[in-house]
Amino acid sequence: MGNYNFQIFTKINPLKLLAVGICIALVGITTLAGSREKGELPEVIIEGEEVLELKSTKPHLEIPIEQNREILESLKTEEEILLKKPSGWEKQPQDSLPELVKSTQVIIPFTHHIRDEKVYIFYPLRDLQATFKEPDPKKAKELARWELIVADESGETFRKYSGRGLPPETILFDGRDKNGKVLKVGYPYSTILRYYDATGSLHTFVRNPFTISGFAHQEPEGFFISLDFKMLYRSPPILLEKHEFSDFGGELLQETSDWIKKHFFTFPINVIVYCRNKTIAEITAKEISGELARMLVRSEVEIFCQGEISEESLERVEIIVNNR
């Protein structure tokens, strides 16, 4: 390849070029002179323009504050005091209670052994469905029938409930027969459910017997609290021997005094013991009235007591409050 030479000719005015050079020289001399006079560097200004715009805002400053901090701290101190247990609490907590709380003169807010006229609740429908399920409930409403029998210790019918269709979910037993006579405390009662389904087949369900140790009931003569005489003492009372209340008997008397404190504190009280031996009946009646007087903080002369002879099956203690 060959070489090619190009010549570029530019026409420049020499006078203009000279003038521009003189101006630049003067500016440089002036700036340098000013800087040297002051001993400072020349000022440099850098200007920029906004390229990216901030679209977010700065969040507000939030400082967490616990308003109840001081209160909570004080409660922690009180909690430590309240939760502090005396030594030996785990072994014998009853020894850490004040004597006043353990006193028989303090009312216990609940009862275990004495029942009112809601003696027992039966669940016949649940008992039936546990052994038999009706295939046609609609048909059973018209053709089926049932009966629930409460029998005494001799097997005699004490109370009977009956109806058509499926049995109800619950039946409340008030402790009385159809004539209003109350049950005997201390003796077992059993229940038998008989169900005749839509086809006439019989299904029988027998529940475990139950026993009532105490029964509170209102009668025209007054309010009665019937107690099981056999459960009051550690052993059957015998003449010329010291009689000692059993732990269970003490609980029965405690609950009896609580009933009286809560409902009939100022009413006259009679204690009647029915026993085969009249002398034993009179002695135990005096013992029971004295224990009740101590629990009720009343004088023994304020509680009338008497003993009556009766059959063995009718032995009991009747504590009567004259509220009528």
- Residue 153 maps to a domain: yes
CA distance 316 to 184: 8
What is the DSSP-derived secondary structure letter of residue 81? Answer: H
Q: What's the total number of domains in the chain?
A: 2
Specify the CATH number for the domain of residue 185. Answer: 2.60.40
The pLDDT score that the predictor gives to residue 25 is 57
- Residue 298 maps to a domain: yes
253 with 316, same domain: the answer is: yes
206 with 219, same domain: the answer is: no
The pLDDT score that the predictor gives to residue 17 is 59
**Helices vs. strands in the chain: H and E counts, helices first:** 7, 13
Tell which phi-psi region holds residue 39, choosing left (phi > 0), alpha (psi between -120 and 50) or beta: left
Domain range for 293 is 214-321
278 with 315, same domain: the answer is: yes
First-to-last CA distance in the chain?
Answer: 147
- pLDDT tens digits for range 177-217: 999 999 999 999 999 999 999 888 999 999 889 999 999 99
In tens digits, the chain (324 residues) has pLDDT values of: 444 444 444 455 555 556 656 666 555 555 545 544 555 666 777 776 666 666 677 777 777 777 777 777 776 666 666 666 666 555 555 555 555 555 666 666 666 789 988 888 999 999 999 889 888 888 888 899 999 999 999 999 999 999 999 999 999 999 999 999 999 999 999 999 999 998 889 999 998 899 999 999 999 999 999 999 999 998 888 776 778 899 999 999 999 999 898 888 889 999 999 999 999 999 999 999 999 999 998 888 889 999 999 998 899 999 999 987
- Residue 312 maps to a domain: yes
243 with 285, same domain: the answer is: yes
The pLDDT score that the predictor gives to residue 135 is 86
pTM over 0.75: no
